[in-house]
Amino acid sequence: MLLAENLLASLPMHSEPSIPSDVSALGAAACDAIAGRYGESEAERYSVSPEHFVQIVSAVVLRYAGSGGEAEQLELVAALRVGELVLVRACSAANEAAWETFLRRFRAPLYEAAYRIAKDESTGRELADALYADLYGVPNQQGRRVSKLDYYMGRGSLEGWLRTVLSQQYVDRYRAQSKEVSLEEQVEAGVSFAARPVANEIGDGAAADARVAAGVSQVLAGLSAEERFLLAAYYLDQRTLSEIGRQLRVHESTVSRKLERLRDDLRKRVRNRWQAAGLSPRRCDELLHELDVRDLNIDVASNLRQETPQRPFYKKDGSAT
């Protein structure tokens, strides 16, 4: 994800999509626990049989807890978002009812997330449309439809996972466009004549990494209680704008504007910290576009959980902020 868009860690896609599972590799207790969640998953609505449901969930359990004990497997079974897991597997199988549900629930949030990432309506729509094409998938040489939805494993919210995929696509798009700049354009921009950065500024040594991570840590440590709450609620807890708005007693559009301003302000604060530590303005801009906060040794979640308020914020006159 772009540091400029999201200072929070999130899970990357797995290198391998889901694969059929050998249910017999799981113990009886785990299989019974999986079967017991069939009803709540709405799998029958998408023509997913109980046997197929057990196979779908077993594949995830074997991937992440196959070598663990029974207690670990049961804990994972209980934590999985089986409804969303079944939904995406049914979408991958081209089930029309599943796609109708998916579009009804996630179309608007996806476009909203794309606009927020791209900061441009046209680019945001292109980004979201490209993702839809990848989610729908295309048949491979064996005739099986390959969809990015196959990478979703049900261990977190589907909406949060989709936002992560959008962010990754935007990064890929940005880097691809950067590489396509012609030599003439680079010469005109003076890139060909730019002095080679010193080693400790670009990150060849531990000193540069320490300055970059320290700058981000200092900014996170200086967040106000309201700022921590907004970031933690939206990014860590995956709550919607309307849910946050209800707790703060403000309209969701107000929450959206607050988050937008906060993201822009965080970029400025981090950039100022880096410059104060000796990084050049050009390098600061590069880091804001390219750096993945997951590469830094920073516990973002712990920073945001500190002093997170449990009630709305009010002005002195009694109105909500």
Structure tokens at 53: 């449901």
Banded pLDDT at 9 (limits 50, 70, 90):
very low
Same domain (yes/no): 235, 281: yes
Question: Do 125 and 229 belong together in one domain?
Answer: no
Q: How far is 171 from 159, CA to CA, in rounded Å?
A: 19
pLDDT of residue 141: 65
Residues 255, 207, single domain; the answer is: yes
> Is-contact 267 288, C-beta < 8 A?
yes
Q: Is residue 197 part of a domain?
A: yes
Give, as one character, the DSSP assignment of residue 234. I
Would you state the structure tokens that stand for residue 99, as one six-digit string? 């796609």
- Side-chain half-sphere of 243: how many Cα atoms within 13 Å? 10
Domain range holding 286? 183-305
Given pLDDT bands bounded at 50, 70 and 90, which one contains residue 15?
A: very low
Q: Quick check: 314 pLDDT over 60?
A: no
Question: Could you give the residue ranges of the DSSP H alpha helices within the chain?
Answer: 28-35, 50-65, 70-79, 82-92, 96-118, 121-136, 158-179, 183-188, 199-202, 206-221, 225-231, 241-248, 252-276, 281-290, 300-305
CB 300 within 8 A of CB 9: yes
Q: What are the residues facing 320 on neighbouring strands?
A: 314
The pLDDT score that the predictor gives to residue 79 is: 92
Per residue in 169-219, pLDDT (tens digit) is 787 776 666 544 444 444 444 443 333 343 333 343 333 457 888 888 888
Could you tell me which residue, 89 or 290, shows the higher pLDDT?
Answer: 89
Average pLDDT over residues 81-102: 93
Residue type at position 303: N
The pLDDT value given to residue 148: 86
pLDDT of residue 119: 81
Residues 200 and 254 in one domain: yes
Does the residue 231 lie in any domain?
A: yes
Higher-confidence residue of 221 and 320: namely 221
Domain membership flag for residue 210: yes
- Decide: helix, strand or coil at residue 181: coil
Q: Can you tell me the distance from the alpha carbon of 155 to that of 79, in angstroms, rounded to the nearest whole number?
A: 7
pLDDT value at residue 10: 36
Pairing of strands 145-146, 138-139: antiparallel
Residue identified by tokens 């009694």 is: 318
Question: Residue 72: inside a domain, yes or no?
Answer: yes
79 contacts: CB under 8 Å, gap ≥ 6:
155
Which of 151, 171, 197 finishes a domain? 151
Residue count of the chain: 321
pLDDT at 77: 94
Which of 217, 182, 228, 209 is closest to 287 using CA atoms? Answer: 209
First-to-final CA distance of the chain:
29
| Distance (Å, whole) CA 215 – CA 277 | 8
**Given this model, what pLDDT does residue 81 score?**
94
Which of 75-79, 103-107, 220-224 is predicted with the least confidence, judged by mean pLDDT?
220-224
Question: For residues 150 and 136, what is the distance between their CA atoms, to the nearest angstrom?
Answer: 10
The total of structural domains in the chain comes to: 2
**Do residues 284 and 236 share a domain?**
yes
What pLDDT was estimated at residue 75? 92
Predicted pLDDT at 248 = 83
Q: Which residue has the higher pLDDT, 261 or 189?
A: 261
Q: What 8-state DSSP symbol labels residue 236?
A: I
Residue entry with tokens 């060849």:
204
> Same domain for 128 and 226?
no
Q: Looking at the domain assignment, is residue 316 inside a domain?
A: no
Same domain for 197 and 139: no
203 within some domain: yes
